[in-house]
Structure 1
Amino acid sequence: MLGRTQKAIDSFDQALKIKPDQHEAWNNRGIALSNLGRFQEAIDSFDQALKIKPDQHEAWNNRGIALRNLGRFDEAIASFDQALKIKPDNSSSFYNKAWYYTLQGNIDLTLENLTQAINLDEEYRERAKTDPDFDSIRADERFQRLLLGS
């Protein structure tokens, strides 16, 4: 798997030599780098994509995930917020923000963002049921009601 991911990065690099303004290639290169745990390089790729196409909500969301993985939480939230400015129904960005607020111990903002994610995509209700990121609030009554759909 790692070998294929590196080959994908090499292919994106070749494509970008030919056409350096391909924002999709920069974004996909960033995803591949993130998959290898090379988060700062991934952020650099997402930033390149965003220089070309500043309204690419996927790149903003992916950038937020990479920043989160580096522990740069305030920057991550700013990226998720930017993704939501562009695409207000981006359930993934709401879910990622919920995780961040759980880490901060802010249950109200966790539930607010998680509710938004679930309202936009029911898949997130099931995901939150087993996501260890929410273990610290798992016993909270409001969290339990949200997971039950009531």
Structure 2
Amino acid sequence: MTEPVDPDPVDPDPQAPAPPLSARVRDQAPVVGVVAIGGALGACARYGAGLLWPTAPGAFPWTTLGVNAVGCAVIGLFMVAITEMWSVHRLVRPFFGTGVLGGFTTFSTYAVDIHGLVQGGHAATGLAYLAATPLIALGAVWGAAHAARRLIARRQT
């Protein structure tokens, strides 16, 4: 009988010296680069959505809610695709998942929107938005991942 392979092996020599800083920086430079490029693309897309569908002061921020919901749904589809369907290059996940979708979704604007609504005398709208966004975002991730898995299962039968 063979011993099972540990998917996360522990370094056999914890006293071994770490690689030099220059090697660690060199190894991570492509990752940092693709995250930056992806983040710029995602942020431009989010900015464009805000220009196309501006939110009036004191109004419910539908555009930001929609951007966050779409971004969360795409991350649900994307993670299922790259973990359960395809083998992808090591830079795809940081480029698209962290960069593009991280730049596209905007939970910092969500916080600023809530603050602006509350300070502007629209506390009920701000509280509704505060509650709705995480529920819709989590539902979008779960729903998209669930749908992607069902499609995979249907294609395999």
Greater gyration radius: 2
Q: Same fold (TM over 0.5)?
A: no
Higher relative contact order (CA 8 A, sep 6+): 2
- The two structures have a TM-score, normalised by structure 1, of 0.28
Richer in helix (by share): 1
- The two structures have a TM-score, normalised by structure 2, of 0.27
